[in-house]
Amino acid sequence: RRRRRRQSNDKEENEKNDEAANSIPLGSGSGFTVHKDGYIVTNYHVIQRAYQINNATESVPKFLQGLRPKAVIKVRGLDASDSKLTTCRIVDVKPELDIAILKAEKYESNKATPLKYADSTKLLVGQRVVAIGNPFGLEKSVTSGVVSALNRNIDGVAGNKIRNCVQTDAAINPGNSGGPLLNSRGQVIGVNTMILSTTGSFAGVGFAVPASSVRKFADEAISKDFFK
């Protein structure tokens, strides 16, 4: 019996090792929950490669799909211990806003408290803000600053201009993308998206997609998905 148990455990461990060995990390970023059923907002460019890979797989005949690679998106921080990885599916994307909506599978509504939106059209220059994210993989890092300017138009991943963005001097670094920019009441005023720098390091100029634009798209995407 002991021998069989060890063999079973060895088999499970080998399967896990094989899965890990065949996995290729595509990138990482940040995100935040906006709905009690586990809907998450992040940047499109954070999950762009996964989205493209899965779209390419779905475009081939079904009998060939099993032969093509499939990207899996996993998030951490939805359970009390913050250690469990939860698989997510892509609900919808809007490259023109650099925003994506994910849905955590097997989600329990008591795992995380959804963030609330603020009216980003009423922001003031000089207003205190906080950025939360995972810069360089350092989870749940918090930086603070102010609204440096409003109504900035920045270059998006789709080749268009993302309009009315919030400029901030709160430190934003690689890994912060997709995380929330919050006001002093903990409400979302934007989604941290990019920095302006000649060196690749933060130089005090970061940008967030305004909450007003994010909320409109997110609410529509979640509503459509909810009633599928």
Of the residues 120, 141, 148, 177, which is catalytic? 177
Catalytic: 98? yes
* Alpha-carbon gap, residue 104 to 35, rounded angstroms: 11
Catalytic: 35? no
Question: 44, 97 in Cβ contact below 8 A?
Answer: yes
Catalytic: 225? no
* Alpha-carbon gap, residue 50 to 73, rounded angstroms: 7
Of the residues 30, 98, 120, 213, which is catalytic? 98
Of the residues 30, 35, 45, 213, which is catalytic? 45
Residues designated as active site: 45, 98, 177
